[in-house]
Amino acid sequence: MDLQTIKQRFGIIGVSSLLDRAINIASQVASTDLSVLITGESGVGKEVFPKIIHQLSNRKHGHYIAVNCGAIPEGTIDSELFGHEKGAFTGASDSRKGYFEVADGGTIFLDEVAELPVSTQVRLLRVLETGEFIKVGSSNVRKTNVRVIAATNVDIPKAIANGKFRQDLFYRLNSVPIYVPSLRDRKEDIHLLFRKFAIDFSEKYRMPVIRLDEASQQLLARYRWEGNIRQLKNVTEQISTIETERIVTAETLAKYLPQSYTRELPVLYTKKEDEHLSERDLLYKVLFDMRKDITDLKKNMAEIMQNSSNFAITQEENKHQIKKIDQNFEILMNSSMPEEISDEDANYEEEMPEQVFESSTHYRSEILEESLSIQKKEEDLIRRALNKHHGKRKNAAHDLGISERTLYRKIKEFDIK
């Protein structure tokens, strides 16, 4: 079956090359019995691909069961998947078949598979490797011939590192990986999807179709669409039912888009590397951050000395100011840091070029005095952590990377109310 036929049959809208690749992989792997792991952000339409694989496979006449693993309580997930015997637990008045037994000869789709408890992951791994499972409350081994397709929006390698997902299960599920691109990675499809949804809602609510002007089309393409296709569909429905004007302007569209994501701007990435720092490591970090600030200040002063000719302070005075900063920091380092700190750490900053001071340029500048007190920095960090967690000391201590006992002592020492 060719690509366009598959799109028409399963209602897929888009011309993106990334989307086409995902569809091609799904169609090619359909004739095999390999396990498939579908990844992608929430709302990108991952649930369509298991249907493609099942309908194009030799199992198309068998059962197709989709299971949302995140929606089933942990206490009943084993019973739902593998079944249970009568009296296996309180309330088990009858024997019950699980999804793997019902779907024998067909396909089972495990959506949000990363939400499965680790104990259930062990059972799932056995089914994938041997086709065997045991009902809850039973000792009899049963066989099933089920193709497993799984999907998740979780970063699986990170979940493995955190002990929340089994590595062997990941490799077993990931026989064939399919990545479904996000909407912002297929910008050429955004307007096509909007028009499709607009026509659908026009027929549903019996009203004229809404259309976007040129400016609103550009805004639609620039928007990040964190909720992907699901969010785009919701926005289209809201505009279709609320707005009386059928031509949508950029101003009208902007009212339905959260302001924090209206434009696709670079996002600062913050790695939570300070989460579990010890008190000693936290002190080192503060000191090295201060040293970097001093280095930046010296470079800025050097540039001023080289580029300005309208200042009145002599070269020697500026040289004296910079040396004074260095001396203050060295005193702080010597009094605060242990002797075993390496020379590599101690030589953090770059040296000030000597030729800078040989210039005949005279300048006038203000030195911004910054408190270099370790105690002040420590007190400030503690206050900020307490404010961030609304006075909850346990959370603040965890954020600072110190024990609660140490935090209590510091609060008392600094007389923090």
SS3 letters across 353-388: CHHHHHCCCCECCCCCCCCCCHHHHHHHHHHHHHHH
For β-strands 247-248 and 211-212, DSSP reports them as parallel
- What pLDDT does residue 165 have? 96
Q: What is the mean pLDDT of residues 170-185?
A: 96
Number of domains into which the chain is organized: 4
User: Does 54 fall in a domain?
Assistant: yes
User: Does 272 fall in a domain?
Assistant: no
User: 189 and 171, same structural domain?
Assistant: no
- Does the pLDDT at position 1 exceed 90? no
pLDDT-based confidence at residue 380 (cuts at 50, 70, 90): confident
- Does the pLDDT at position 261 exceed 50? no
SS3 142: strand
Longest CA span, the chain: 96
- Please tell me the distance from the alpha carbon of residue 362 to that of residue 318, in angstroms, as a whole number: 10
- What pLDDT does residue 331 have? 57
Q: 158, 181, 204 — which closes off a domain?
A: 181
Tokens of 389: 């967690």
- Does the pLDDT at position 346 exceed 70? no
User: 149 and 117, same structural domain?
Assistant: yes
Output the domain CATH number for residue 197. 1.10.8.60
- Does the pLDDT at position 294 exceed 50? yes
Q: What is the mean pLDDT of residues 234-240?
A: 96
User: 143 and 65, same structural domain?
Assistant: yes
User: Does 274 fall in a domain?
Assistant: no
CA dihedral 120, 123, 127, 128 (to 10 degrees): 70
pLDDT-based confidence at residue 367 (cuts at 50, 70, 90): very low
pLDDT-based confidence at residue 323 (cuts at 50, 70, 90): low
User: Does 175 fall in a domain?
Assistant: yes
- State percent of the chain over pLDDT 90: 59
- What pLDDT does residue 25 have? 97
- Does the pLDDT at position 279 exceed 80? no
Mean pLDDT is highest, among 34-38, 260-264, 395-399, 411-415, for 34-38
User: 408 and 359, same structural domain?
Assistant: no
Output the domain CATH number for residue 44. 3.40.50.300
- Does the pLDDT at position 335 exceed 60? no
Of 200 and 271, the structure prediction assigns the larger pLDDT to 200
User: Does 350 fall in a domain?
Assistant: yes
Residue pLDDT, tens place only, 26-53 = 999 999 999 999 999 999 999 999 999 9
- What pLDDT does residue 180 have? 97
- What pLDDT does residue 270 have? 46
Residue pLDDT, tens place only, 73-120 = 988 999 999 999 998 888 888 999 999 999 999 999 999 999 999 999
Q: What is the mean pLDDT of residues 162-175?
A: 95
What are the helix (H) ranges across 184-243? 190-205, 214-222, 228-242
Domain range for 365 is 279-372
User: 406 and 360, same structural domain?
Assistant: no
- Does the pLDDT at position 72 exceed 80? yes
Q: 181, 210, 233 — which closes off a domain?
A: 181
User: Which residues, in sequence order, are bridge partners of residue 411?
Assistant: none
pLDDT-based confidence at residue 22 (cuts at 50, 70, 90): very high
User: 34 and 85, same structural domain?
Assistant: yes
User: 301 and 241, same structural domain?
Assistant: no
Mean pLDDT is highest, among 67-71, 346-350, 358-362, 372-376, for 67-71
- What pLDDT does residue 354 have? 44
User: Does 268 fall in a domain?
Assistant: no
User: 99 and 85, same structural domain?
Assistant: yes
pLDDT-based confidence at residue 322 (cuts at 50, 70, 90): low
- Please tell me the distance from the alpha carbon of residue 202 to that of residue 199, in angstroms, as a whole number: 5
Give the range among 157-166, 218-227, 327-336 with minimum mean pLDDT: 327-336
Give the range among 17-26, 275-284, 403-412 with minimum mean pLDDT: 275-284
Neighbouring CB atoms inside 10 A of 317's CB total 13
User: 177 and 107, same structural domain?
Assistant: yes
Helix 393-400 × helix 404-414 angle, to 10°: 100
- Does the pLDDT at position 280 exceed 80? no
Q: Chain-wide mean pLDDT for the chain?
A: 82
For β-strands 211-212 and 107-111, DSSP reports them as unpaired
Q: What is the mean pLDDT of residues 191-203?
A: 96
Instruction: Label residue 201 exposed, middle or buried (CB < 10 Å: 0-12, 13-18, 19+).
Output: buried
User: Does 233 fall in a domain?
Assistant: yes
User: 166 and 287, same structural domain?
Assistant: no
Terminal-residue alpha carbon distance, the chain: 71
User: Does 38 fall in a domain?
Assistant: yes
User: 342 and 194, same structural domain?
Assistant: no
Q: 181, 213, 247 — which closes off a domain?
A: 181
User: 175 and 199, same structural domain?
Assistant: no
- What pLDDT does residue 414 have? 79
pLDDT-based confidence at residue 244 (cuts at 50, 70, 90): very high
Output the domain CATH number for residue 384. 1.10.10
Q: Which residues of 139-151 are buried (b: 16+ CB within 10 A; e: fewer)?
A: eeebebebbbbbb
